Structure 1
Amino acid sequence: MNINHMYKAFCFSILVMLGWGCGSSITYPAISETDAENYHPGQFVWHDLATSNPTGAMKFYGDVFGWEFETLGSGDDLYHVVKNQGKPIGGIFQLAEKYGDKSEWLGSISVLDLNAAVTYNEVRGGKTIFQISEFNGRGKTALVQDPQGAIVALLRSSTGDPEIGPGMNNGWLWNELWTTDLDSSLDFYKGLVQYNAEKVEQAKAPYYIFSRDDKKLSGVIKNPIREGRSAWMPYIKVENVDEVVAKAEAAGAYIMMKPDKGIRNGKVAVLIDPLGAQLTVQEWPIEN
């Protein structure tokens, strides 16, 4: 199957198809397990999968990563909490049927001033997809599209942010912006969350690390896929990338990039799950 064709299908604009507002009866998992209310602006603190088929998604991610799920709500108002080794790390929610078979992982970035961040995005030419809303147990959040087209949630947690670090296997490791306009994206996110951007000199293609307060928080590259829109790529930390790729392929995933010794020592792979959501799996640390 042609990679560009697959990626163009993945990159179908999801602006009109997200079921963002869930019922007020649901109490969502707290972003942080502590009561310290420490905040790390610019950190990705949560991930939600918007999908046309939550049941299929839960089967795939359960089979491949061993994730477990807790369903909150009732009737058409359901939110499926993703758990890794018993710890909540994300959620899955249903897209309206009329939008067809689409899926995308949506990362949430911690911001100190949500109103200011939303206004900044709009002033710079971005769009607000869903206005600021309060989610019981989680905090206040808004869903936006940045000026280059990437979709991301902005979040002010009511319980602070989790500690920064790679965490457990089969949990979130990293987030990387694949952008159609590298210079504009670097400039935009420096203003949105006061990132510092440092170029990785040894990288084969231009690659930048976003950091704040001397903590590395995410990466940025020019989108390597022709005709693909800008999008944030989530990374999952795995113990053995080859085994995970084999499981994912057997479960119906399309392997966009197989492990290659010339790329991060063969410890990374890029997948599209059976429902169309893109993700990267990587061993960490990468040993020579």
Structure 2
Amino acid sequence: MTEAREPAGPHARRLPGTPCWVSLMTHGLEATEAFYGELFGWEFRPGPQQLGPYVRALLDGREVAGVGRLPTGRRLPVAWTPYLASDDVDRTADTVRLCGGTLAVGPLDAAEAGRMAIASDPSGAVFGIWQGAAHAGTAVTGVPGAPVWNELLTFETESVAKFYKSVFRYQDEPVVSAGTDSLALLLDGRPVAELHGVGQGLPPGRGPHWRTYFEVADLDVTLRQVAELGGRVLAPAHDGPHGRTATVADPEGAEFSVVQDPR
């Protein structure tokens, strides 16, 4: 995953298909701010309110993620969602439909920041589409507290890969070290995300979904903080090709992974 960590300026153009932003929808916005603020050192300021109360998380003054409040009365999952860059959200949304995906929200304008949609692939995994204007996306990567990688956990990769390659023109290649059914999605020859087919190994009650990784300086300290702040450790720390990694959940159950770079 280190290949996808080049820092980008706040207004740098992202190639279509590049993961450019992550956003969490939650019930308790203030409690969620307190959890992630303590865990990652984030501060918050208001963002576009088209979908309800929404804040942007800042790390040393630079935007790294968004957090919004779920609409009252709607039974939607509390989850992190990656956004993939697009030069034309409306055209990308049409392609999503033509390729068997579903549009849940939009396309719609997010004030002067840009234009967005929320979609799901044919397996049901939710992702966002972002056409940046004043806001291009995450302004810093490769530092503790910033998102660093995204992976799709799904039943099998072959049909899902065809969908994403049709919508965003990715190339793909096998990820030999990650198992028998794992593919890297590439743009201009550079890995930007991975697909993992886990068959029936998905968590109980959870279908195919994207998972975001956040970099941390000390994984052991982070896992202690997660527990102290009311979260849970779902998969303990283990060594992998990209560093020490663990999967956790915040107090409302939103899952994410944390990784300590071996540098």
TM-score range, shorter chain: 0.7 to 0.9
| Kept in 1: contact 2:29–2:68 (CA 8 A) | yes
Quick check: which one's strand share is greater? 2
* Residue of structure 2 in register with 1:187 after alignment: 162
1:1-288 counterparts in 2 under 5 A?
33-34=10-11, 38-72=13-47, 77-99=52-74, 102-159=77-134, 161=136, 166-223=141-198, 224-227=201-204, 228-261=206-239, 263-264=240-241, 267-284=244-261, 286=262
Contact 2:154 / 2:196 at 8 angstroms: preserved in 1? yes
Give the Å deviation of 1:128: 0.8
Distance 1:41 1:72, change over 3 A: closer
Please state how far the C-alpha of 1:202 moved relative to its aligned partner: 2.8
Q: Helix, strand or coil for the counterpart of 2:237?
A: coil
CA contact (8 A) 1:109 1:154 kept: yes
AA aligned opposite 2:249: I
Give the SS at the match of 2:53.
strand
- Deviation of residue 257 (structure 1)? 0.5
What amino acid does structure 1 have at the position aligned with 2:246? Answer: A
Give SS of 2:123's match.
coil
Contact 2:93 2:117 in 1 (8 A): yes
1:114 partner amino acid: V
**Shift of the alpha carbon at 1:102?**
4.7
CA distance 1:73–1:180, shift in 2 (3 Å): closer
* Secondary structure of the corresponding residue to residue 238 of structure 2: coil
Q: 1:271 to 1:205 in 2, by over 3 A?
A: farther
Conservation of the 8 A alpha-carbon contact between 2:154 and 2:208: yes
Structure 1 vs Structure 2: percent identity of aligned residues? 21
Q: Against the structure 1 CA distance between its residues 244 and 198, is the aligned structure 2 distance closer, same or farther, given a 3 Å change threshold? A: same
Contact 1:104 1:277 in 2 (8 A): yes
Equivalent residue of 1:115, what SS? helix
Q: Secondary structure at the match of 1:260?
A: strand
Q: CA deviation at 1:72?
A: 4.9
Equivalents in 2 of 1:83, 1:164: separation in Å? 9
TM-score scaled by structure 1?
0.79
For residues 180-221 of structure 1, the C-alpha deviation after alignment (integer angstroms, 9 at most, x for no partner) is: 231111111111111111112233443221111122211110
Question: In 2, Cα distance between the equivalents of 1:89 and 1:169?
Answer: 11
TM-score, normalising length from structure 2?
A: 0.86
Residue-by-residue CA offset, 1:36-73 (whole Å, 9 max, x unaligned): x5331111111111111111111110111111111357
Considering only aligned residues, what root-mean-square deviation do their CA atoms show, in Å?
Answer: 2.6
Quick one: structure 1 residues 275 and 133, their matched pair in 2 at CA, closer, same or farther if it must change by over 3 Å? Answer: same
Structure 2 residue identity aligned to 1:139: G
Q: Distance in 2 between matches of 1:83 and 1:244?
A: 19
Residue ranges of structure 1 left out of the alignment (5+ in a row):
1-30
Q: Once the two structures are superposed, what CA deviation does each residue of 1:21-47 show, in whole Å capped at 9, x if it has no partner? A: xxxxxxxxxx9523xx53311111111
1:141–1:153 contact (8 Å) kept in structure 2:
yes
Aligned residues: 252
- Partner of 1:267: helix, strand, or coil? strand
Render the CA deviation track for 1:143-165: whole Å, top value 9, x for unaligned.
11111101111111115846998
